[in-house]
Homo-oligomer: A and B are copies of this chain.
Amino acid sequence: MEGSPERHSKKKVVAVVGGGLVGALNACFFAKRGFDVEVFETREDIRQAKIVKGRSINLALSHRGRQALKHVGMEEKIVSQGIPMHARMIHSLSGKQSPIPYGKKGQVNLIILSQNTSLLFAECVIYKIRLLLKPVCHVAAVSHRPDGSTEEVEADLIVGCDGAFSAIRKQFLRRSRFNYSQTYIPHGYMELTMPPINEEFAMKPNYLHIWPRNTFMMIALPNMDKTFTCTLFMPFEEFEKITTGDEVIEFFQKYFPDTIPLIGADALRRDYFRLPAQAMVSVKCSPYHIGDKCVLMGDAAHAVVPFYGQGMNAGFEDCIVFDEIMDRFSEDFNAVLPEYTRVRVPDDHAIADLAMYNYIEMRAHVNSKWFLFRKHVDNFLHFLMPRAVIPLYTMVTFTRTRYHEAVERWHWQDKVIHFEKMRFCFLQALSFFLNLLFEGFFMPLNI
């Protein structure tokens, strides 16, 4: 962060491909170091763009994301545009609502809207970043020989922040020894809007509302305009079974009866058919770099399913991690890029796996008594031994513990708890067995 223009005889040029959240933030990180930053974006100018209804996806900003924003002086401004969250709110079939807190008191999760893409980008002006509206393939051409039909862009570093379907990553796929996986889950998602009632939120606003229904579920998140965005997650074939407005109402009456008056029956009949259900993909790859020329960050490197609320935070943390490595290796891309791959790949893979794990947990276990019990045990143990036992969710959401270390620690904690359970069962059985053998001689061992 001590980088300044004077350090370079000639300013290095960084081409950031993609002007989404991670692209915009990354541009600020590079600009702060004194690089000449150009952001390439194929869509229209996102500062003026309208939000696409039904594909807005609310985003949860937590500790990792905030740390990154703080680094470029944007934390307060962005946080002030969001709605703080205190807990989950579980809706049962009968309409009963039960809150499950996220962690200890005072720990809050923060919701921001996708509108903040443009807000974040508007902030870039303070760093004098150029937004260039060009097809991404023109920029991608820098990383390999252009075939004559494409325009060549000169840059010292290309940063691919162009999302889950990254064009820059496609160039990586042409090379040998690039590991890559894309996994679509069998569920799709659909967004429905719950309007305000008397200009107020229709439900308690500071909660992540969840309707867990085993193979599918609905969640609702508050927006600044007092609406809720309800997102229905369901297998594609279930979505396709519902073909008429009456069937929509029937379905909601069966599974989410409390939401019908709040969303409105007419809106439900209409909005269910506005857009088909959207697919969700989990992408992992490695390495994240080619030579000293090109690097992937954010969804381009690791698209995750949205069930841990960490997608944006992981992408923002990429920027910090890269920045820290830039300090350690004096901005020498030849050393920085391989180190970034070495350090960041295991963490991004860990959060991708966790998000997939939560995909199952949220649908099924949130419903079960066992899950609630286990959450209480975890939180209670954390309360008793705040350093020794930290719930996984707390490590992921409220600290910068490396993702893969959080997972290792979680497995270790699980083993200890499991071992204690085993020891308890074994001693119980032994006591029973001895009692059986010498009835009357031994009192059951009272362990």
Contact = CB atoms under 8 A, between A and B. Distances in A.
A171 interface: no
Interface in A153-202: 176-184
A279 interface: yes
Q: How many copies does the complex hold?
A: 2
A73 B180 CA distance: 40
Interface residues of A, number: 10
A183 B178 CA distance: 7
B184 A182 contact: no
A31 to B, nearest CB: 35
A179 B179 contact: no
Instruction: Classify the secondary structure of A's interface with B.
Output: strand
A176 B185 CA distance: 11
B184 A181 contact: no
A279 B176 contact: yes
Contacts of A279: 176-177
Contact of A180 (B176, B178, B181): B181
A391 B181 CA distance: 32
Contacts of A177: 184, 279
Nearest to A170: B173
A422 to B, nearest CB: 12
B178 A181 contact: no
Interface string A226-237: 000000000000
A238 to B, nearest CB: 15
A184 B182 CA distance: 15
Contacts of A179: 182-184
Nearest to A426: B426
Contacts of A183: 179, 181
A395 to B, nearest CB: 28
Contacts of A180: 180-182
Query: Which 4 A-B pairs have CB atoms at the shortest separation, nearest pair first?
Result: A181-B181, A177-B184, A179-B183, A176-B279
8 contacts: A176-B184, A176-B279, A178-B184, A179-B182, A179-B184, A180-B182, A181-B181, A181-B182
